[in-house]
């Protein structure tokens, strides 16, 4: 499922001009900084940039998956002859479940 969502994300991802401009600025500053750093500092900078890129990729994928799940839920709700989703009801149901679990663990 994760790979499928990743493929969908990349299929529909379209970089904007703003993103491309920010990437160019980031690259320019990165190159300036690399010229001023020693070998060990460059290694640390590369590790930091790689980790930040991985975090951004995962955050974008998570956001896409959340939107997809929301759309799927709306679609299912429209197809089913059920009452519409209600956040307050769901929140109350989850709170009651937590309370019951706490009562079960504390006796």
**SS3 sequence, 54-90?**
HHHHHHHHHHHHHHHHHHHHHHHHHHCCCCCCCHHHH
- Answer whether residue 57 is part of any domain: yes
85 Rama sector, left if φ>0, alpha if ψ -120 to 50, beta otherwise: beta
pLDDT in tens, 14-51: 777 888 888 899 889 988 998 999 999 989 988 998 99
Domain around 57: 2-82
What confidence score (pLDDT) does residue 107 get? Answer: 66
Flag whether 34 is in a domain.
yes
- Answer yes or no: is 26 within a domain: yes
pLDDT of 1 higher than 70: no
pLDDT at 58: 92
Please indicate, yes or no, if residue 100 is contained in any of the structural domains: no
Domain count, the chain: 1
The answer to whether the pTM exceeds 0.85 is no
In a domain, 19, yes or no: yes
| Residue at 17 is within a domain | yes
Q: Per the domain annotation, does 91 fall within a domain?
A: no
Helix, strand, coil distribution of the chain in percent, nearest 5? 85, 0, 15
Q: Tell me the average pLDDT across 48-72.
A: 91
> Do the domain assignments include residue 96?
no
């Amino acid at each position: 499922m994760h790979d499928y969502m990743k493929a969908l994300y990349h299929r529909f991802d379209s970089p904007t001009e703003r993103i491309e401009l920010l990437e160019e600025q980031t690259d320019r500053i990165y190159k300036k900084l690399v010229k001023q750093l020693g070998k060990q500092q460059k290694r640390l900078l590369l590790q930091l940039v790689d980790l930040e890129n991985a975090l951004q990729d995962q955050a974008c994928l998570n956001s896409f998956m959340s939107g997809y799940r929301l759309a799927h839920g709306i679609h299912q709700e429209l197809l089913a002859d059920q009452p519409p989703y209600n956040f307050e009801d769901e929140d109350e149901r989850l709170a009651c479940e937590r309370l019951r679990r706490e009562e079960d663990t504390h006796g």
